[in-house]
Amino acid sequence: MKEEKVLVNNLRINYKVAGEGEPLLILHGWGSSSDSWREVQKILAIRGYKVIVPDLPGFGKSITPPTAWNLKDYSNFVLSFTKKLEIPQFFILAHSFGGRIAIKFIKEHPERVKLLILCDSAGIKPKPAPKTRLIYLIAKIGNALFSKKHLVRFKDSARNSLYFFLRNRDYVKANGVMRESMKKIIEEDLLPELSQIKTKTLLVWGEKDKMVPLKYGYLFEENLPNSKLEILPKVGHSPHLEEPEKLAEIVFNFLKGN
CATH of the domain at 51: 3.40.50.1820
Question: Do residue 16 and residue 65 come from a single domain?
Answer: yes
Rounded to whole angstroms, how far apart are CA atoms 236 and 243? Answer: 10
Select from 108, 43, 71, 50 the least CA-distant residue to 252: 43
Question: Do residue 26 and residue 103 come from a single domain?
Answer: yes
Rounded to whole angstroms, how far apart are CA atoms 210 and 1? Answer: 32
| pTM as predicted | 0.85
pLDDT at 138: 52
Tens of pLDDT along the chain (258 residues) come to 999 999 999 999 999 999 999 999 999 999 999 999 999 999 999 999 999 999 999 999 999 999 999 999 999 999 999 999 999 999 999 999 999 999 999 999 999 999 999 999 999 998 764 444 444 455 455 455 445 554 445 445 444 444 444 444 443 455 689 999 999 999 999 999 999 999 999 999 999 999 999 999 999 999 999 999 999 999 999 999 999 999 999 999 999 997
- Beta strand spans in 82-145 (E): 90-95, 113-119
Q: Which domain holds residue 197?
A: 2-125+189-256
Question: Do residue 22 and residue 140 come from a single domain?
Answer: no
Question: Do residue 105 and residue 84 come from a single domain?
Answer: yes
Question: Do residue 114 and residue 137 come from a single domain?
Answer: no
Question: Do residue 70 and residue 117 come from a single domain?
Answer: yes
pLDDT at 143: 54
Question: Do residue 59 and residue 162 come from a single domain?
Answer: no
DSSP H or E run through 17: strand 11-18
The SS3 of residue 122 is coil
The SS3 of residue 1 is coil
Domain C-terminal end among 138, 160, 183: 183
Question: Do residue 81 and residue 22 come from a single domain?
Answer: yes
The Cα-based distances of 137 to 49, 132, 156, 169, 200 in angstroms read 50, 9, 17, 20, 41
Question: Do residue 42 and residue 150 come from a single domain?
Answer: no
Select from 57, 54, 60 the least CA-distant residue to 23: 54
Q: How many domains does the chain have?
A: 2
Rounded to whole angstroms, how far apart are CA atoms 205 and 212? Answer: 9
Question: Do residue 56 and residue 167 come from a single domain?
Answer: no
Rounded to whole angstroms, how far apart are CA atoms 193 and 22? Answer: 28
Question: Do residue 175 and residue 98 come from a single domain?
Answer: no
Question: Do residue 163 and residue 238 come from a single domain?
Answer: no
Domain C-terminal end among 166, 183, 200: 183
- Phi, psi for 74 (deg, rounded to 5): -70, -35
